[in-house]
Structure 1
Amino acid sequence: MAKSSKISAGREPGGLIVHISGLLPSLSPAEQRVARLVVADPAEAARRTITDLATAAETSEATVIRFCRSVGMDGYPQLRIRLAAEAARRVEPLDARVVGGDIPPGADLAQIIATIAFNDARAVEETAEQLDPVVCGHVVDAIVGAGRIDIYGAGASGFVASDFQQKLHRIGRTAFYFPDVHTALTSAALLGRGDVAVGISHTGTTSDVVEVLEQARTRGATTVVLTNFPRSPVTEVADHVLTTAARETTYRSGATASRLAQLTVVDCLFVGVAARNRPRARKALEATAEAVRSHRLGSGRRRA
């Protein structure tokens, strides 16, 4: 099966900065220094000559040219034009303290709240902008026709995987989530043609998720991956690649904006699946809501 994804250059969905951010881990260390300067301030990078940018990145002009080609540009002039256009369309936060999206030492709670809100909103918006409807359609098709859907994720991505499993289960889809790699592997070994395995990994380098998807693919299942980086190792074992556009900053290990970006994609897939058979989905949601209604205060259950 041909892999469906969108990682080509040209007019990138979601914008050039999102495209460069997604490719950053696959670049050489010197190219990454160039990329970080470009992503941090596209307008300033667009004003620099190739010599100025190379000096600021502590590298050579040849490396800047290699960086341009790595992200799909013909050369530095094209990159400068694209960066200028990107800078013109970028919406900056109203609160000047939030510019840059990072949380500096000594930030008060008001600044922390404003920065987190801005980063989270930007992650959701940019993820939606670059999400490929064609690839989403292929994934929805596979899930709708699946005999069984297994979903895998570790750490914070595991919470998203669990959420996706619960959503699919509530509309009558046979879906499972396995947080432990051993049970995940034994489950994947029993998948076959017509089944779907979904792996969620922000970095795309989580070995557990890669290994489980590889096992599922070997057994003939359709494999889907949701990651922030379209050239990460996990994409090599996926038939369909969906990407987020989250840029974590100071507290990356907390998986803040990335988790919301993943949930945005999961919600799109869930609604897409439910919409394929609205009567069935509505009936299932009503039945599951009724099953737990007595456990809600104010719904006929007496308080102690």
Structure 2
Amino acid sequence: MPGTPRQSGAGHNQDVDDSGNGLRADTLVATVRGVLPSLTPAAQTVARLILEDPATVARSTITELSAASGTSEATIVRTARLLGFAGYPQLRLALAAAAAQPDRLVPGDLAPDDPLSEVIQKVARAESEAINDTVAQLTSERLGLVVEAIVGARRIDAYGVGASGLVAEDVAQKLLRIGLSSHAFQDAHLALTSAVLLKPGDVAIGISTSGETPDVIEPLTRAREAGATTVAITNNPRSSIAELAEHVLISAGRETEFRPGALASRISQLLVVDCVFVGVAQRTFDSSQEALASTRRAVKEFTRRTSPARRQP
């Protein structure tokens, strides 16, 4: 409901470790990547060094990191605190723990002269890391709240543009196949038209890698004002869309020269969508199975009637 606090524990502290001392080691780098656009320019400089070479940062004193980043020691301490740590020593410890998983800290960026055999390996690695990082941040509690909302919804909207729009289409198509009234909108005007007509109990899902896409934020805002339950799928837990939504599911994906942020995140967004879909299908097993059987039968009959072999005299 409008004005109610988010229920899914989203926000800058959602991935703290069990001690409450900053981000968990297994998701630290991915989360820093996601919140990067929300940081101040000086903090971004420090964060980029963490992303480019986290193992070296883990070995650096605050004085050494200050010299390497061209920022003050006070900025480094503030950056560590923005990331949920008490100070720089705690950030170094988390980075050292992440460095104990060396396979996850190798940059592996694509280069213009990479042979295709290496392209295959690097793309596969990036996809795998995106999935692993998303799984590490996707808790059953957050997922369960979204599943519960969708199961009880009269109607489900999904908003997204560009690559995230394709993900919106995917979630709407999946839910439609199991008999739920779901629609995807990539056009902001149509999204707004639908959003203002939602009612309490309906669900609106906003999908944005950056979490700052106006064409997604505005309809999600209107949906919330109309009383709908709002869900965000985003890389950035500190973004505008994350602050707006009642439930936030974090995806992950690393941007490179050949893989812009939206493309890098699509595989992880689709993973989140698949988990939501399976959870809903489990909760509505009998009706979902009946709907899937009916849709398969309709498509099969249509294909048989319209196949070239059937049309020959």
Given that residues 104 and 129 in structure 2 are in contact (C-alpha distance below 8 angstroms), is that contact kept between their aligned partners in structure 1?
A: no
2:89 is the counterpart of 1:83: no
Q: Deviations over 1:70-108 (max 9, x none)?
A: 111111211111111111024259xxxxx4131123222
| Cα separation, 1, equivalents of 2:159 and 2:190 | 11
- Aligned counterpart, 1:2: 5
What are the residue-to-residue correspondences of 1:121-140 with 2, within 5 Å?
121-140=128-147
SS at match of 1:202: coil
Q: Deviation of residue 40 (structure 1)?
A: 2.1
Which of 34, 46, 52 is matched with 1:40 structurally? 52
- Count of residue pairs brought into register by the alignment: 298
Which of 199, 214, 228 is matched with 1:221 structurally? 228
| Cα separation, 2, equivalents of 1:254 and 1:27 | 17
Deviates more, 1:242-251 or 1:105-114: 105-114
Given that residues 120 and 256 in structure 1 are in contact (C-alpha distance below 8 angstroms), is that contact kept between their aligned partners in structure 2?
A: no
- Aligned counterpart, 1:190: 197
**TM-score between the two structures when normalised by the length of structure 2:** 0.90
Q: Deviation of residue 254 (structure 1)?
A: 7.2
SS at match of 2:232: strand
Letter of the 2:111 partner, please give it: P
Given that residues 253 and 261 in structure 2 are in contact (C-alpha distance below 8 angstroms), is that contact kept between their aligned partners in structure 1?
A: no
Q: Cα RMSD between the aligned structures?
A: 2.0
2:187 is the counterpart of 1:180: yes
What are the residue-to-residue correspondences of 1:50-199 with 2, within 5 Å?
50-92=62-104, 99-199=106-206
Given that residues 206 and 231 in structure 2 are in contact (C-alpha distance below 8 angstroms), is that contact kept between their aligned partners in structure 1?
A: yes
- Aligned counterpart, 1:24: 36
Q: 1:151 to 1:31 in 2, by over 3 A?
A: same
| Cα separation, 1, equivalents of 2:38 and 2:104 | 28
| Cα separation, 2, equivalents of 1:53 and 1:295 | 64
Given that residues 223 and 239 in structure 1 are in contact (C-alpha distance below 8 angstroms), is that contact kept between their aligned partners in structure 2?
A: yes
Structure 2 spans left out of the alignment, 5+ residues = 18-22
| Cα separation, 2, equivalents of 1:92 and 1:232 | 25
Q: 1:295 to 1:110 in 2, by over 3 A?
A: farther
Given that residues 159 and 205 in structure 2 are in contact (C-alpha distance below 8 angstroms), is that contact kept between their aligned partners in structure 1?
A: yes
Letter of the 1:201 partner, please give it: S
Q: Deviation of residue 179 (structure 1)?
A: 2.1
| Cα separation, 1, equivalents of 2:261 and 2:42 | 27
Letter of the 1:78 partner, please give it: Q
Letter of the 1:283 partner, please give it: E
Q: Deviations over 1:196-230 (max 9, x none)?
A: 11110111111010000111111111111111001
| Cα separation, 2, equivalents of 1:289 and 1:35 | 49
Given that residues 31 and 236 in structure 2 are in contact (C-alpha distance below 8 angstroms), is that contact kept between their aligned partners in structure 1?
A: no
Percent of matched pairs sharing the same residue: 50
- Aligned counterpart, 2:20: none
Structure 1 spans left out of the alignment, 5+ residues = 94-98
- Aligned counterpart, 1:200: 207
- Aligned counterpart, 2:252: 245
Q: Deviations over 1:247-275 (max 9, x none)?
A: 11113437332110100000000000000
Given that residues 38 and 239 in structure 2 are in contact (C-alpha distance below 8 angstroms), is that contact kept between their aligned partners in structure 1?
A: yes
